[in-house]
């Protein structure tokens, strides 16, 4: 372990943001209730990506 505080998610070495998580995982935790949950891309219709602003 290093002295630097970083994300507690396994395999993630991003900088600590809040609650022991990096910003990415912290937002994921807030949204989905778990930092491990990821909405997989690739199953969405292409129109949805193109409509994104
Ligand atoms: Zn993380």
Average pLDDT for residues 31-48, to the nearest whole number? 73
Q: What is the pLDDT of residues 2-35, one digit of tens each?
A: 556 899 999 999 999 999 999 999 999 999 999 8
- Assigned domain for 24 exists: yes
Q: What is the dihedral of CA 45, 46, 48, 50, to 10 degrees?
A: 180
Q: Report CA(8)–ligand 1 centroid distance (Å).
A: 7
- Assigned domain for 43 exists: no
- Assigned domain for 18 exists: yes
Please tell me the total count of domains within the chain.
1
Q: Report CA(45)–ligand 1 centroid distance (Å).
A: 28
Phi, psi of 31 (to 5 degrees): -75, -45
Q: Report CA(35)–ligand 1 centroid distance (Å).
A: 8
Q: Which domain holds residue 13?
A: 1-33
* pLDDT at residue number 38: 77
Q: How confident is the model at residue 36 (pLDDT cuts 50, 70, 90)?
A: confident
- Assigned domain for 46 exists: no
- Assigned domain for 9 exists: yes
| pTM, two decimal places | 0.62
- Assigned domain for 41 exists: no
CB 16 within 8 A of CB 7: yes
């Amino acid at each position: 372990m290093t002295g630097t505080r970083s994300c507690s998610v396994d395999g993630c070495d991003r900088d600590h943001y809040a609650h022991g998580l990096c910003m990415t995982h912290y937002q994921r935790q807030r949204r989905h209730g778990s930092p491990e949950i990821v909405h997989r891309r690739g199953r969405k219709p292409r129109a949805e990506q193109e409509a994104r602003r």
